Amino acid sequence: MPNAHTAREDAPVLSVRNLRVAYGPRKAVDDVSFAVSKGEIFGLLGPNGAGKTSTLSAIEGLIIPQSGTVLLAGMDMRQCPADVKANMGVQLQSTSFQFELTINQLIKLYAGLYNVPLPAGQVLESLREAGLEHESGKRFKQLSGGQQQRLSLFIANIHHPALLLLDEPTAGLDPQSRRQLWDTIGQNRRAGGSILLTTHSMEEAQAVCDRVAIIDHGKLITVDTPRGLIAKHRNDPRVRKAARGAVTLEDVFIGLTGSEIRE
């Protein structure tokens, strides 16, 4: 059975192949394939109901797909789900941390759950990098939205997983907090981490993602760098119709997925 130690060095950290997820007759994910390389930030973009959440849920092992494979660091989610989940860190839009615990207590709790030794000096340095060194004694409920998201990202990465899954990591944050979190995500990538994130912000996708994939109606429409997507689709009549001036990534997104509001 393959594992993280036998996987080839040049192999993708995450490989999703021919993934299909259905709820009764409705196909939520229809033959989706993509890969995330080591040290890459990969964005999964799509309107509400496009299939993003179902794709992430299958990657996390929360749902069993009808067909297809999810390989993380060479390990198959179907064959060794516990090992795959142990090599994954997840940050959701809304955290479920114990509100009455302090930052220090939460870090010790999750470090213990992952069996990660964290000397006090290392904790302080990590909190300093996350901009939380002066908040360590505060209860989670006392933190601002940006501080909660930075702590959530810190804890998701506490065991140095092969892949971080970030679901709308900056939703609801003010511009300063959003830029700070972008910096933290970039630091993780520079340290060799790989990240798969979903976002509704085209500005965010263009600012932090090395490549992005657009999914709609369960199918992957296109994959490329943000600049590559603009170059590839700038002359599509649907994109030209959506554009107001120079074509942007948002114009490409709206042109390919439609302008109708999705609930």
The pTM of the full predicted model, rounded to 2 decimals, is 0.88
- Do 16 and 215 touch, CB atoms closer than 8 A? no
Which residue range(s) make up the domain with 93?
89-160
**Is 191 within the bounds of a domain?**
no
d(CA 135, CA 139): 9
pLDDT of residue 99: 80
pLDDT of residue 4: 40
pLDDT of residue 185: 85
pLDDT of residue 9: 57
d(CA 26, CA 13): 30
CB atoms within 10 A of CB 141: 11
**Below-70 pLDDT ranges, the chain:** 1-10, 93-96, 263
**Is 104 within the bounds of a domain?**
yes
**Is 131 within the bounds of a domain?**
yes
pLDDT of residue 238: 96
pLDDT of residue 115: 87
- How many structural domains is the chain composed of? 1
**Is 143 within the bounds of a domain?**
yes
pLDDT tens digits for range 120-178: 777 787 788 777 888 888 998 898 888 888 888 888 888 889 999 998 888 878 888 88
**Is 107 within the bounds of a domain?**
yes
Measured CA to CA in angstroms, residue 243 lies from 3, 57, 238, 246, 260 at distances of 46, 33, 9, 7, 15
**Is 116 within the bounds of a domain?**
yes
pLDDT of residue 94: 62
**Is 134 within the bounds of a domain?**
yes
**Is 42 within the bounds of a domain?**
no
